[in-house]
């Protein structure tokens, strides 16, 4: 069967992979919460869950580790469990395999932490909107920490490396133990009152929850939130989150990191300004070169001023001409001329046509005259008709002696009798 499927995991395979991942990722953890569902099995193992407002996690402490339970392990008490994370494969449940359990009643530090955190969060002390911006360039950095700790040396060293001529002003304070919270608050207020620093770094190096506790005290947290100067917090290591971190404008993971946030690398800034300046200069000189080029071209195009004047005059005349031509009066005049020209031509044509016709008519009239028999008669010819039949005689054979004929002349006529026919 196993060889036939490749598109899914078996439950065991999934579980063992999850187990592997969790154990890899959480080899050692410390978790605090309220104890619930506590029982001891017949074999003597301890089973319980830790819970807070949102979640629960199961815990197992084997019989052999019973002596690492400090305090009264019972439901409702607050406990911090140290151990590793594992998965109980038969049920696919993840749980904490405890190495030690620290129990205390109400008054426990972690509980205090959570209660205070919730309270200040509700007040809006940690709101993003309250956060001040850290200036881009801090020439004076204030440091609030212990003069004897490693933190202050880390900060000074990193600042000197990045931006050597930064002024560093330390407001010394103890950072743990009795009265530390009050001292830190006073040192912070003194620095803020001094008012000459661009940013304040407050913090200390790593330590236990108890060591870092002053930075979870309400007085310190409230002081940090109230300062006019921007604050970078740097308490303990990357994993430690104190309430001071939440109240600060920026949280740094370590004191060194705080110094990196506060101070730029000088060379980078100088380079950036230099680069900007180079661009300003090069853009402007490019611009000037372009303009110079244009001026040069224009100068090349310059000619004898008289030619220019002539050219200008020509252009002006042309423009004037075009202008007048385009005036309405001019247009009307032009149209009128066009019409009268047209009329003139038409009249001339008509006259020509007429005289031509007249000439034609005259010659036609002449032709008609020529054809009119009377015209012929006028020139001496005559017409002879048979008196009886009225027929025009055109041949001598059409008449005979003794016949009466009528002769028509150009004017008048006469009657006569044929005496003899001549062939």
Partner 1 sequence: MEERELTFEEALKRLEEIVRKLEEGRDTLENSMKLFEEGVKLARFCNEKLDEAEKKLQVLMKRGEEIRKEDIDEEEFFSQE
Q: Are strands 404-408 and 413-417 parallel, antiparallel or unpaired?
A: antiparallel
Query: Which string of x and - marks every residue 230-269 that binds partner 1 (by CB under 8 A)?
Result: ------------------------------------x--x
Distance of closest approach, residue 176 Cβ to partner 1, in angstroms: 19
Tell me the per-residue interface mask from 169 to 198 with partner 1, x by CB under 8 A, - otherwise: xxxx-----------------xx-xx----
* Beta partners for residue 86, in sequence order: 95
Per-residue binding letters, 134-173, with partner 1 (x by CB under 8 A): -xxx-xx-x----xx-x--x--xx--x--xxxxxxxxxx-
Torsion of CA 114, 115, 116, 117, to 10 degrees: 40
Query: Read out DSSP for 148-187?
Result: TSHHHHHHHHHHHHH-TT-EEEEEE---SSTTHHHHHHHH
Q: How far is the CB of 138 from partner 1 (least distance, A)?
A: 9
For residue 170, the minimal CB distance to partner 1 (Å) is 5
What does the alpha-carbon distance between residue 392 and residue 402 come to, in Å, rounded to a whole number?
A: 17
By the rule CB under 8 A, 209 interacts with partner 1: no
For strands 93-104 and 167-172, give the pairing.
unpaired
Nearest-CA neighbor of 236 among 200, 201, 208?
208
**What minimum distance in Å lies between the beta carbon of 198 and partner 1?**
10
**For partner 1, the closer CB: 70 or 267:** 267
Smallest separation (angstroms) from partner 1 to the CB of 199:
13
User: Whose Cβ is closer to partner 1: residue 196's or residue 210's?
Assistant: 196
273-312 binders of partner 1 (CB under 8 A): 273-274, 276-277, 279-281, 283-284, 287-288, 291
The pair of structure tokens assigned to 381 is 């010819």
Which three-class secondary structure state does DSSP give residue 140? strand
Q: 165 or 397: whose CB is closer to partner 1?
A: 165
Select from 77, 65, 85, 67 the least CA-distant residue to 110. Answer: 77
What's the closest the beta carbon of residue 261 comes to partner 1, in angstroms? 15
> In terms of DSSP H, where are the helices of 167-326?
180-194, 218-226, 243-247, 255-262, 266-301, 305-325
Least distance from partner 1 to the Cβ atom of residue 280, Å: 4
The minimum distance between CB 58 and partner 1, in angstroms, equals 46
Residue 224, Cβ density class (10 Å: 0-12 exposed, 13-18 middle, ≥19 buried) = buried
Candidates 131-139, 342-350, 369-377, 384-392: pick the segment binding partner 1 (CB under 8 A).
131-139
DSSP string, 236-254: SSTT---HHHHHSSEE-SS
Count of residues near partner 1 by CB under 8 A:
43
C-beta closer to partner 1: residue 58 or 153: 153
- The structure tokens listed for 293 are 């080029």
| Whether the Cβ atoms of residue 142 and residue 262 lie closer than 8 Å to each other | no
Q: Measured from the CB of residue 200, what is the shortest distance to partner 1 in angstroms? A: 11
The nearer residue to partner 1, 148 or 389, going by C-beta atoms, is: 148
Question: What are the two backbone dihedrals, phi and then psi, of residue 212, each rounded to the nearest 5 degrees?
Answer: -85, 0
Q: Which stretches of the chain bind partner 1, using CB under 8 A?
A: 135-137, 139-140, 142, 147-148, 150, 153, 156-157, 160, 163-172, 190-191, 193-194, 266, 269-270, 272-274, 276-277, 279-281, 283-284, 287-288, 291
């Amino acid at each position: 069967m196993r060889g036939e499927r490749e598109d899914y995991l078996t439950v065991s395979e999934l579980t063992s992979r999850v187990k592997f991942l969790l154990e890899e990722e959480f080899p050692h953890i410390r978790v605090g919460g309220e104890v619930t569902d506590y029982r001891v099995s017949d074999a003597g193992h301890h089973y319980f869950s830790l819970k807070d407002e949102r979640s629960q996690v199961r815990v197992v402490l084997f019989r052999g580790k019973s002596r690492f339970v400090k305090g009264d392990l019972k439901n409702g008490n607050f406990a911090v469990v140290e151990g590793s994370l594992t998965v109980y494969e038969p049920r696919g449940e993840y749980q904490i395999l405890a190495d030690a359990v620290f129990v205390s009643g109400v008054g426990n530090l972690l509980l205090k932490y959570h209660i205070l955190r919730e309270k200040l969060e509700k007040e809006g002390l940690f709101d993003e909107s309250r956060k001040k911006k850290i200036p881009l360039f801090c020439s004076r950095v204030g440091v609030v920490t212990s003069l004897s700790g490693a933190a202050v040396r880390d900060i000074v060293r990193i600042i000197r490396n990045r931006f050597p001529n930064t002024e560093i002003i330390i407001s010394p304070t103890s950072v743990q133990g009795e009265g530390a919270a009050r001292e830190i608050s006073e040192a912070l207020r003194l620095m803020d009152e001094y008012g000459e620093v661009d940013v304040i770094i407050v913090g200390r190096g790593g330590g236990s929850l108890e060591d870092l506790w002053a930075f979870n005290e309400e007085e310190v947290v409230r002081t940090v939130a109230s300062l006019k100067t921007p604050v970078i917090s740097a308490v303990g290591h990357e994993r430690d989150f104190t309430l001071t971190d939440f109240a600060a404008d920026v949280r740094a993971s370590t004191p060194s990191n705080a110094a990196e946030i506060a101070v730029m690398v000088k060379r980078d800034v100088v380079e950036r300004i230099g680069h900007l300046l180079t661009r300003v200069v090069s853009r402007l000189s490019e611009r000037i070169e372009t303009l110079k080029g244009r001026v040069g071209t224009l100068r090349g195009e310059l000619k004898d001023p008289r030619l220019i004047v002539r050219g200008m005059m020509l252009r002006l005349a042309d423009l004037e001409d075009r202008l007048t031509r385009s005036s309405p009066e001019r247009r009307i005049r032009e149209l009128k001329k066009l019409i009268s020209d047209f009329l003139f031509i038409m009249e001339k044509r008509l006259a020509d046509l007429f005289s031509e016709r007249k000439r034609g008519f005259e010659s036609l009239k002449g032709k008609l005259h020529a054809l009119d028999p009377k015209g012929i008669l006028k020139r001496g010819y005559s017409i002879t008709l048979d008196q009886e039949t009225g027929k025009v005689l055109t041949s001598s054979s059409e008449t005979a002696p003794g016949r009466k004929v009528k002769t028509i002349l150009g004017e008048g006529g006469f009657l006569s009798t044929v005496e003899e026919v001549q062939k």
